[in-house]
Every structure is written in structure tokens, then in C-alpha cells.
């Protein structure tokens, strides 16, 4: 008999709507992050509909800003499934505090390992993570932080490699579709280092005047790219358009500030999935995603190294295609949502004691 699994997501995400958009070819995977693939491992995955706006959400937002980003007064569970899995700690921590006595709660952790929390918030987060049946991570670098700073027992910590939809993000059918002068940089989180991306590209442009950069981000302002020739700023693209843009580029550049939760992993893996070389910052944890090829790591804030890595791709298309093929193979072998679901299913099995 299938295990009744309730995934939960922060914000207004509606998984039934997501399924409909997937069927229309607009988003990857039939369920966010490929959790529908858990059904092949004995889990019956429920839909989830988050709240959208209103006075309660405004109050929740105020409390969250004061409380380390955790959704302390977020919605509860509609009933009691066999197992709950939260995609991140914003809901996972409060759900574990409220419900761990009656249902196992498994949560991902992304952000609380970065920076500092106030003492009361730190204690509450530690208590919630301590009650979680398992805590899964996408970076090995977070293990010592959660063990030593938050007191989570190491046997409860489950580092697993992230994955992207290798069916949705696919290489171009014809190498002629690749624009050999185009560099793409994508991302919105607070650890993105677009300042270094832009300094690196300015060097690339001087060495190779035909080069162009497309930045897809809401956190970069028009003033940030003013005066840098060859740069186009696009605030946002839907998943299909983003995939097409990255697929057509010679290389993807994803540079980040120091962090331990592999910020930028999604953009990196989507670049590899479409068969293009990727350049990323050598932060803790990112090396795990580079061992199988396709990804070049450069030191943090090192525009010179990033420019050299980018020029190496632009100036040798044949070698770049070989590197991209290595990256695509790595995604198929290890970094797909299919493989991620296999690893997560093992975490859920352990949480249930099976």
C-alpha cells in the first residue's frame, strides 16, 4: 500500500495548477522539484495549495521578517498524512514543532545555515530541526553547521545531490542553434554575485568584441549594466523561455558570494542539462557538482579567472561542445529529478523507520 505523503511549500504555490502548466509544456516536472517521481518509490503524493495574499499573509510576513525568515504562523496540515516533507525550513521548522509527535516531518534546509539568527530564533529553529524525523540538504558543507551550531544529530542529517528535469531541459537538436558569442547569467537570490559577472564580461568583451551577455535577474538594476557594452538585462523569463535561452548560449556563468548551501545549483544544472558548459564559484559544496565534468569552478570574486574560463569556451567551440556533453551526461547519470527522487525516497524511508 502506498504511503500517504504530503509535500508542503512556502508561499502561494498550487501544485494542481503546476500540473496543468506542466501538461501545457510551460514548467518542468509534473510536480514541483520532481516530487511526483516519488510515486515510483511507493509514495502517494498529495497536492498542495498555499495561501495567497490577505491580512493573514501580511501578518505572517511581518512575523517572518522578525523571525529569521521562518513562517512561524503559517498554515497547518489539513489532516494527518503518513508523512510530511517540506521543501525548505520556512515551513519545515514550525511543522516539526507542532506535528512531529503525531506524524514524521522531513524538511530540507537551505538558508538558516547562512549568517546569524537572534538567540530566541536560533533556539526555536534548533528545537524544530531536532524534532524533524530527517533533515535533508543539497550541500555536504551544511552538515557540520547543522551538527555543531544547531545541535542536529548527524544520523538525522541526509545530504543528497540536487537534480533538474532532464526531459524538460534538453540540448539543442543542432549545434548550429548555439550562438557562439552568447554568455548567459541567471539568478535572483541574495548570494548571486552579478558584480563579478559584469566585471568578468567587460574583460571578455574587450578581448572578444563580438561577445554578448544576457543577464536574467530581478536583482540587477538597469543602472548596474549601464556603460557595459554587449549586455542585455531581462528581469524574468518563464521556464520554457529560460531553457531556450540557456540552450542557445555558448556558456552559462553563475557566480555567487561565499555560501554553504550551493546557491546557483539550479542554474548550473539547467545549463549542464541543455549540454552547455557552466562556470560557477568554488564555494563549499559546489565541488560535488563539478566532479563529473561540464562545470568549471573559479575562486570567489575573481573576475579575472571567470573571464579566462569564459574566453576558453568562446574561443574553442569544439572543446566547449565536448565539455557540454560531459555535463549533460552527468545530469542524466546523477543530477536529474529522477535520481533526486530516488535519493529522497531513501531519506523518507529512513524517516519512517523502514
CATH of residue 289: 3.40.50.2000
Same domain for 189 and 149, yes or no, is no
Q: Which three cell numbers stand for residue 311?
A: 574566453
How many structural domains compose the chain?
Answer: 2
Q: Are residues 154 and 227 in the same domain?
A: no
Does residue 170 sit within a domain?
no
The candidate with the shortest Cα–Cα distance to 131, out of 69, 178, 89, 189, is: 89
Write down the residue that cell numbers 543577464 correspond to.
215
Shared domain for 237 and 284, answered yes or no, is yes
State whether 180 and 321 are in the same domain.
yes
Do residues 109 and 142 lie in contact, with contact meaning Cβ atoms separated by under 8 Å?
yes
Is 253 within the bounds of a domain? yes
* Distance separating the N- and C-terminal Cα atoms of the chain: 14
In a domain, 59, yes or no: yes
pLDDT of residue 279: 98
Which pLDDT score, from 0 to 100, does residue 60 have? 67
Give the side-chain half-sphere CA count within 13 A for 52. Answer: 5
Instruction: Give pTM, 2 decimals.
Output: 0.94
pLDDT of residue 53: 59
Q: Please report the pLDDT score of residue 55 as a whole number.
A: 62
- Ranges of the chain with pLDDT below 70: 51-61, 63-64, 66, 75, 354
Would you say residue 340 lies in a domain? yes
113 plus 146 within the same structural domain: yes
Give pLDDT, residue 166: 98
Residues 182 and 329 in one domain: yes
Is residue 67 located within the same domain as residue 89? yes
Q: In angstroms, rounded to a whole number, what is the distance separating the alpha carbons of residues 66 and 69? A: 7
134 part of a folded domain: yes
Indicate whether 181 belongs to any domain: yes
Examine residue 62 and state whether it is found in any structural domain, yes or no: yes
Helix (H/G/I), strand (E/B), else coil: 22: helix
pLDDT at 73: 79
| Pair (115, 47) in one structural domain | yes
Residue 48 and residue 65 in one domain:
yes
Domain-located, residue 169: no
- Do residues 230 and 259 share a domain? yes
pLDDT at residue 69, as a whole number: 80
Domain that holds residue 185: 175-333
Residues 347 and 301 in one domain: no
Strand order in the sheet with 3-8: 43-45, 3-8, 83-86, 105-108, 134-137, 157-159
Are 23 and 156 in a shared domain? yes
**How many residues are listed for the chain in this entry?**
354
Helix residue ranges, H only, the chain:
15-23, 55-66, 89-99, 119-131, 142-148, 194-207, 222-225, 239-248, 265-273, 303-314, 317-333, 337-351
Amino acid at each position: 500500500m502506498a504511503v500517504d505523503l504530503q509535500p508542503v511549500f512556502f508561499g502561494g504555490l498550487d501544485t494542481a495548477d503546476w500540473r496543468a502548466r506542466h501538461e501545457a509544456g510551460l514548467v518542468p516536472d509534473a510536480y514541483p522539484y520532481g516530487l511526483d517521481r516519488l510515486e515510483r518509490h511507493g509514495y502517494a503524493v498529495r497536492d498542495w495549495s498555499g495561501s495567497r495574499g490577505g491580512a493573514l499573509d501580511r501578518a505572517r510576513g511581518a512575523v517572518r521578517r522578525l523571525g529569521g525568515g521562518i513562517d512561524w504562523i503559517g498554515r497547518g496540515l489539513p489532516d494527518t498524512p503518513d508523512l510530511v516533507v517540506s521543501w525548505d525550513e520556512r515551513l519545515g521548522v514550525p511543522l516539526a514543532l507542532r506535528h512531529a509527535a503525531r506524524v514524521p516531518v522531513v524538511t530540507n534546509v537551505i538558508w538558516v545555515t547562512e549568517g546569524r539568527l537572534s538567540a530566541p530564533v536560533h533556539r526555536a529553529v534548533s528545537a524544530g530541526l531536532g524534532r524533524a524525523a530527517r533533515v535533508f540538504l543539497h550541500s555536504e558543507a551544511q552538515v557540520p553547521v547543522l551538527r555543531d551550531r544547531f545541535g542536529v544529530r548527524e544520523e538525522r542529517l541526509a545530504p543528497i545531490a540536487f537534480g533538474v528535469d532532464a526531459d524538460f531541459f534538453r540540448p539543442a537538436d543542432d549545434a548550429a542553434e548555439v550562438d557562439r558569442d552568447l554568455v548567459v547569467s541567471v539568478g535572483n537570490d541574495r548570494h548571486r554575485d552579478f558584480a563579478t559577472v559584469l566585471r568578468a564580461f567587460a574583460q571578455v568583451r574587450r578581448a572578444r568584441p563580438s561577445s554578448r551577455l544576457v543577464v536574467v535577474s530581478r536583482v540587477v538594476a538597469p543602472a548596474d549594466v549601464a556603460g557595459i557594452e554587449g549586455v542585455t538585462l531581462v528581469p524574468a523569463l518563464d521556464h520554457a523561455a529560460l531553457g531556450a535561452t540557456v540552450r542557445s548560449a555558448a556558456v552559462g556563468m553563475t557566480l555567487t558570494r561565499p555560501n554553504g548551501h550551493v546557491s546557483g545549483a539550479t542554474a548550473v544544472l539547467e545549463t549542464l542539462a541543455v549540454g552547455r558548459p557552466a562556470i560557477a564559484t568554488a564555494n563549499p559544496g559546489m565541488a560535488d557538482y563539478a566532479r563529473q565534468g561540464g562545470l568549471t569552478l573559479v575562486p570567489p570574486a575573481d573576475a579575472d579567472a571567470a573571464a579566462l574560463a569564459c574566453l576558453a569556451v568562446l574561443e574553442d567551440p569544439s572543446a566547449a561542445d565536448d565539455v557540454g556533453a560531459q555535463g549533460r551526461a552527468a545530469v542524466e547519470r546523477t543530477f536529474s529529478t529522477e535520481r533526486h527522487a530516488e535519493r529522497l525516497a531513501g531519506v523518507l524511508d529512513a524517516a519512517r523507520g523502514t
